[in-house]
Amino acid sequence: MAVFVLDNQGKALMPCTEKRARLLLARGRARVHRLTPMVIRLVDRQAAACDFQPLRLKLDPGSKTTGVALVRDVESIEVATGEIHCGVAVLNLMELVHRGRHISEALTARRQMRRRRRSNLRYRAPRFLNRGNKKSGWIAPSLQHRVDTSIAWVKRIQHWAPVRAISSERVRFDMQALQNPEISGVEYQQGTLYGYELREYLLEKWGRQCAYCDAKDTPLQIEHIRPKALGGSNRASNLTLACQCCNQKKAARSIEDFLARDKKRLDRILAQATKPLRDAAAVNATRWTLANALKATGLPVELASGGQTKFNRCRLGVPKTHALDAACVGQVRFIQDWSKPTLTLKAMGRGSYQRTRLDKFGFPRGYLMRSKRVHGFGTGDMVRADVTKGVKAGHHAGRVAVRASGSFNIQTRRNGISGVIQGISHKHCRVIQRNDGYGYFFNRTDHTGREQVRPKASDAAHPALYLPAMNGRVSRAI
């Protein structure tokens, strides 16, 4: 994974390899600017004296997870024809995990608690018509969160790397084209991307398994719930997925006849067929808001469809992950160096304004600390605790949860397994990165499912914690 580099004025330079970053730190030519993602700052170089290669930031927006890929545009010339092919070389892979569902549930709980309290307290004046008119372009807070976090990371990466262009999926599924296949004419039906939008939609909707026998990891075929011989249409609501065996058994029979002995499965399939895909609706609701926000950055923005992304991924033989989907967005003829670890960025929030806990009736049952910091530590900070003796002796690194007593809990991640070390005194802890609202961890398995072996990386939340030249050289952010 590439390491971000800044000059001595805080301006972005070309990212470098981990090996080069270690050499720069060991020789005293750089200081650690940030741990996760790893950013170093040179002490003897300015951006004006450097040449930059074309970097592009690619996004694959999703309802729960957004894939982010920082790539370098490269060109190759075909010897036989002299044709120039445009491709990308992957530098960094990230997956941004949203908390939109948590926001929606929190707002629902708050609304219900307020209604409960107002129903019992008659002295409170009724509240209505006091919210004002919604502004043009308003979207729900849970959806706005997805846009805000995506743009926040685009701006962060712009500050750490000389990004010159942005590519993004505008929409994962063209819902209108799925419901009316002829809306874009014959060219949409018989073009290069023919069928990819519909297949990807059905895979997501039916959980990538056979609707009749729940078979997974097997070739699936598109199957008509109501056969065309009995008047069925090609609409997405009449299509499902079936393995070859089930598809042949059903043939042109009606689904009621085929599943006459399995009423529960019949009811579930009929209900799922007409049920909209919630995640696709969330992405569709934010597509233009995100696209307009990306254009506001002032960089050239390339918008592509989800069908083209899947077409590129299948043609290039790249495994399916959110980050690799982002690398395949847009016009890509070939892709290089895509087998890299993926950094997961999980939105954790920055705490709550609530000073109490509430019972099921919406009344306070306990009071929280008025200060968010205890002995200089705040919940969510990345800390390292060096315990010299006792049952908990050792080195522990991870996110901290503070208590007023000064005895903290540290959430660690060892060998891919999360755990909590309780009762660590604040005297043993030191801050290595302040809380910025996100949790960070690497996916320790490669894209073939095998665990990656890296020296000392499995013992910490981030391998950079064990860089030999880091001690005493952690600098504050510019």
CATH number at residue 196: 1.10.30
Residue 293 lies in a domain: no
CA 451 vs CA 112, 438, 445: distances in Å: 45, 24, 4
Residue 30: CB atoms within 10 Å: 27
In whole angstroms, give the CA distance from residue 21 to residue 23: 5
Instruction: Count the Cβ atoms, other than its own, within 10 Å of residue 101.
Output: 14
How many structural domains are present in the chain?
3
* 200 and 269 part of one domain: yes
Q: How many helices (H) and strands (E) does the chain have?
A: 12, 23
Query: What is the token pair recorded at 81?
Result: 């024809």
Domain contains 424:
yes
Same domain? For 186 and 241 the reply is yes
Give a yes or no: residue 316 inside a domain.
no
Q: Name the DSSP letter for residue 388.
A: -
Q: How far apart are CA 5 and CA 13, in angstroms?
A: 5
Could you tell me if 214 and 269 lie in one domain? yes
Same domain, 448 and 430: no
Structural domain for 416, as ranges: 372-436
Q: Look up residue 275 and give its DSSP letter.
A: S
CA distance 442 to 444: 6
129: left (phi over 0), alpha (psi -120 to 50) or beta: left
- The predicted pLDDT at position 18 comes to 93
Do 208 and 269 lie in one domain? The reply is yes
d(CA 193, CA 282): 23
451: which DSSP letter?
Answer: B
455 occurs within a structural domain: yes
Domain-ending residue, one of 244, 276, 308: 276
Q: Is residue 88 part of a domain?
A: no
- Among the candidates 247, 276, 305, a domain finishes at 276
In the prediction, which pLDDT does 288 show?
A: 85
Q: Are strands 55-60 and 65-77 parallel, antiparallel or unpaired?
A: antiparallel
Please check whether residue 299 lies inside any domain of the structure. no
Q: Which amino acid is at 276?
A: P
What are the pLDDT tens digits along the chain (478 aa)? 899 999 999 999 999 999 999 999 999 999 999 998 999 999 988 776 678 899 999 999 988 899 999 999 998 887 777 788 889 999 999 999 999 889 988 888 888 777 777 776 666 666 666 566 677 778 889 999 999 999 999 999 999 999 999 999 886 655 544 554 433 333 333 344 445 667 777 887 888 899 999 998 888 998 999 998 888 888 778 889 999 999 999 988 999 999 998 999 999 998 888 776 666 667 777 888 999 999 999 999 999 888 788 889 989 999 989 999 999 999 899 999 999 999 999 999 887 777 787 777 767 788 888 888 999 999 999 999 999 998 889 999 999 999 999 999 998 877 667 789 999 999 999 999 999 999 888 875 544 444 443 433 333 344 443 333 333 334 333 3
Is the same domain home to 239 and 187? Answer: yes
Domain shared by 385 and 452, yes or no: no
Output the CA–CA distances (angstroms, integers) from residue 394 to 17, 24, 159, 389, 418, in the order listed. Answer: 30, 29, 36, 8, 17
Let me know whether 257 and 180 are in one domain. Answer: yes
Element holding 242 (H helix, E strand):
strand 239-243
Structural domain includes residue 226: yes
In contact, 73 and 56? CB cutoff 8 Å = yes
Tell me the CA distances in angstroms from 189 to 178, 195, 331, one per residue in order. 11, 7, 20
Residue 102 placed within a domain: no
| DSSP 8-state code for residue 27 | T
Output the DSSP codes for 336-377. ES-----EEEEE--S--S--EEE-TTS-EEEE--S-SEETTE
* Residues 453 and 432 both lie in one domain: no
Statement to judge: residues 464 and 387 lie in one domain: no
Rounded Cα gap, residues 418 and 423, in angstroms: 17
Q: Which of 251, 276, 301 is the last residue of a domain?
A: 276
Whether residues 378 and 450 fall in one domain = no
The two three-digit tokens of residue 405, written as one number:
């007593």
Question: Is 270 found in the same domain as 220?
Answer: yes
Q: CA–CA separation, 103 vs 110, rounded Å? A: 11
What's the whole-model pTM score?
0.76
